[in-house]
Amino acid sequence: MSLGDPALRAWCAVESALRCREGQRGQGTVEYLGLALAVGVLLVAVSKAFTGKDHGIGEALSKALKSAMGTALGDNAGD
């Protein structure tokens, strides 16, 4: 087999593609976790900004957020 052989070139291309893909395994999970953390921080900041104002909207939002996070994490402490 020489390097000019189409079968060898195809094999090398497949092998190269698979090796590139291995380095990104789990990358989507990290990105979604970062996005979830950013949204969580934003919601906490908004709830802190409204605490004591607007007739308790911040407190209600804070309780709802704690409950949702408790449900998502399987913890009943948020209830």
Which pLDDT score is estimated for 23?
63
Q: What is the mean pLDDT of residues 8-13?
A: 76
Domain assignment present for 74: yes
Q: What is the pLDDT of residues 11-66, one digit of tens each?
A: 777 777 777 666 666 667 788 888 899 998 888 888 777 676 556 676 787 888 88
* Euclidean distance between CA atoms 62 and 11, whole angstroms: 56
CB neighbours of residue 51 within 10 Å: 14
pTM score, whole prediction: 0.38
Angle at which helices 57-73 and 27-50 pack, to 10 degrees?
150
Domain assignment present for 60: yes
Domain assignment present for 18: no
**For the chain, how many structural domains are there in total?**
1
Confidence of residue 78 (pLDDT cuts 50, 70, 90): very low
Domain assignment present for 71: yes
Containing structural domain, residue 61 = 27-78
